[in-house]
Amino acid sequence: MGGFTKFLLGLVAAAAVLVLGLITWGYVDQFRQVKAWSAGAAAQQVSAAEAKRLPAKVTGLTKRLEALTPRGLYILIDTAENRLYLKKGDQVVREAVVSCGSGGILKEPNGKRSWIFDTPRGQFHVESKLTNPYWVKPDWAFIEEGEPIPKNIEDRIAENELGAYALGFGKGYFIHGTLYTRLLGRNVTHGCVRVGDDDLKAVFESVNLGTRILIY
Amino acid sequence: MMRRAILGLLLAAAIVPGSALPQTTGQTKLLTLRAGLLERELDLAKLPNAYFLLDMREKRLILKAGGTVLRQWEMGGVRAWGAPNEFKTLTLVTKSALNPPQRVEIKPGGAEETPAPAAAKEKEAAKKPQAGTPAAPPEFELEALELKDMPKSFEMVFEGGLRVSVKAAGQSLKSTLGRVWNAVRWSIGRPLEAVYAKAKKRPFRVLELTLKEDKEVQALYWALFDGIKGLIWYTPVN
């Protein structure tokens, strides 16, 4: 075996030992960290009086948390699956195929404004209940169509676009009807939640102002 | 042989979160932790936003808002590297994936010039309206972000440096090559990464969540938006 080959083999062996050492160090360090964390967590001391109060504290906190959950009917919307559930507790009272936001972006040409067409997520409430609603088209609706933005509000009004009912849940977002029933189940809207006629009627008649709407 | 046994023990301590946690702390300790977590959850539940709870022991991720469960994901496996976080509320800083979904930019007035904006397709579809709710949604392509566009594996980075990777069980474990790669990445790559991070004085905390199906991973990617807050339960708290 030549000197150079020996040197190379030695180099490879040294590198292997180094890597093995580093790996072992990694494991040892991990073990130490977890042990230190466990010891630290276990070292949290509470006085005897505090310890006595703990079960009641946990029960109280659990009750406070449970008290936040809706008592009566509430609406749950899954924007990924495009489903609306009318629920009471864990029970699904009605399930509907809906259309939620497309997630598209619209930028105003030569302007500074832009819009993202997501259905908002989180916790909302029914803020308005409208029968035979009409749509006051916002600026983006005209920009998207490539039309000039009208000066008069009358020119913004579109009738028969929102179906027979609408439930407002804030910031201009509604659960409403649709002309495009074939698109139910797909993400096509500008953020509102479109519902088929029969389901919309049932949901509209079941909920009151203030009913919780949970969207994810 | 001895070294292998020690390595095995260390590995077990590293990859099984439950085993690395205090087992004999007693009822008071558990109640203290439970109370702390409930207090933090109560703070989150009072906000209008959704939040998550990752229960390492039950292998479950729960999405909630206002204290109500929105959806939950059962996990096939959970692995952890690095010391568990302190019991504090975490904020998701960013998500990354090999093929992250891209938002479609709508061309103003583009219905005539560029085919396929959502509005144009809607109008096309509306020409043939159907009464009632369809049994299955139409399958044509939309220029929209939909569940099917979400990645089937991704990584999340939380404030404080915690990294959480999410994949489906069937994805890399299907092939032998995938299984070997996963094992090598975890048992050799992670300790090396940990040593490197220590040298750089950076925190190194990694969780790996394995869900049962691709679609569940995609739904989780959809549900956990940047900025969402949540809690991780490392210890048995029931």
Judge whether residue A80 has pLDDT over 90. yes
Strand partners for B206:
B81, B163
Q: What is the DSSP letter of B49?
A: S
Query: For chain B, what percent of residues have pLDDT higher than 90?
Result: 48
Which region among A33-37, A76-80, A197-201 has the lowest average model confidence (pLDDT)?
A: A33-37
Q: Give me the amino acid identity at B71.
A: R
Band of the pLDDT at A215, cuts 50, 70, 90? very high
Judge whether residue A33 has pLDDT over 50. yes
- Using an 8 Å CB-CB cutoff, list chain A residues near B62: none
pLDDT the model gives residue B178: 75
- Using an 8 Å CB-CB cutoff, list chain A residues near B20: 34, 38
Which region among A87-91, B75-79, B131-135 has the lowest average model confidence (pLDDT)?
A: B131-135
Alpha-carbon gap, residue B133 to A82, rounded angstroms: 12
pLDDT the model gives residue B129: 43
Alpha-carbon gap, residue B93 to B228, rounded angstroms: 8
Q: Higher confidence at residue B18 or residue B224?
A: B224
- 3-state class (DSSP) for residue A81: coil
* Helix (H) or strand (E) run with residue B192 in it: helix B190-199
**Nearest-by-Cβ selection for A38 from B21, B111, B195:** B21
Least Cα separation, residue B176 to chain A (angstroms):
24
pLDDT the model gives residue B88: 86
Chain A neighbours among B 62-121 (CB < 8 Å)? 63, 65-68, 70-71, 81-84, 103-106, 108-111, 117-119, 121
Which region among A3-7, B128-132, B202-206, B209-213 has the lowest average model confidence (pLDDT)?
A: B128-132
Band of the pLDDT at B31, cuts 50, 70, 90? confident
Checking A13-21 for CB contacts under 8 A at 24+ apart, the result is: A19/B192
pLDDT the model gives residue B122: 54
Residue A70: C-alpha distances to residues A73, A124, A206, B38, B107 (Å): 7, 12, 15, 18, 42
pLDDT the model gives residue B57: 85
- pLDDT tens per residue, range B45-65: 999 999 999 998 899 999 999
Alpha-carbon gap, residue A9 to A2, rounded angstroms: 11
Question: Cβ of A184 and B134 within 8 Å?
Answer: yes
Alpha-carbon gap, residue A195 to A82, rounded angstroms: 10
Alpha-carbon gap, residue A138 to B191, rounded angstroms: 55
- 3-state class (DSSP) for residue A94: strand
Mean pLDDT on B184-192: 91
pLDDT the model gives residue B179: 75
Helix axes A48-68, B26-45, angle to 10 degrees: 30
pLDDT the model gives residue A142: 95
Helix axes A3-42, B2-15, angle to 10 degrees: 50
- pLDDT tens per residue, range A37-74: 766 665 566 778 888 899 999 999 999 999 999 989 99
Alpha-carbon gap, residue B40 to A61, rounded angstroms: 10
Least Cα separation, residue B154 to chain A (angstroms):
17
Mean pLDDT on B176-197: 87
Judge whether residue B11 has pLDDT over 80. no
Contacts of B155 (CB under 8 A, 6+ apart): B95, B96, B97, B163, B164, B165, B166
Chain centroid, CA B92 distance in Å: 10
Alpha-carbon gap, residue B20 to A68, rounded angstroms: 34
Least Cα separation, residue A131 to chain B (angstroms):
19
Q: Mean pLDDT, chain A, as a whole number?
A: 92
- Using an 8 Å CB-CB cutoff, list chain A residues near B131: 181, 197
Of the candidates B64, B86, B85, B82, the residue with the CA atom closest to the CA atom of residue B73 = B64
Question: Cβ of A123 and B10 within 8 Å?
Answer: no
pLDDT the model gives residue B238: 36
Mean pLDDT on A86-110: 95
- pLDDT tens per residue, range B110-154: 643 333 444 545 555 554 444 444 455 666 677 789 999 999 999
Judge whether residue A184 has pLDDT over 50. yes
pLDDT the model gives residue A111: 78
| Structure token digits, residue B46 | 């009072």
| Structure token digits, residue A186 | 């797909």
Question: Is A176 tagged catalytic?
Answer: yes
Contacts of A103 (CB under 8 A, 6+ apart): A116, A117, A118, A187, B103, B104, B144, B145
User: Do the Cβ atoms of B92 and B158 come closer than 8 Å?
Assistant: yes
pLDDT the model gives residue A32: 85
pLDDT the model gives residue B43: 96
Helix axes A3-42, B190-199, angle to 10 degrees: 80
Judge whether residue B208 has pLDDT over 80. yes
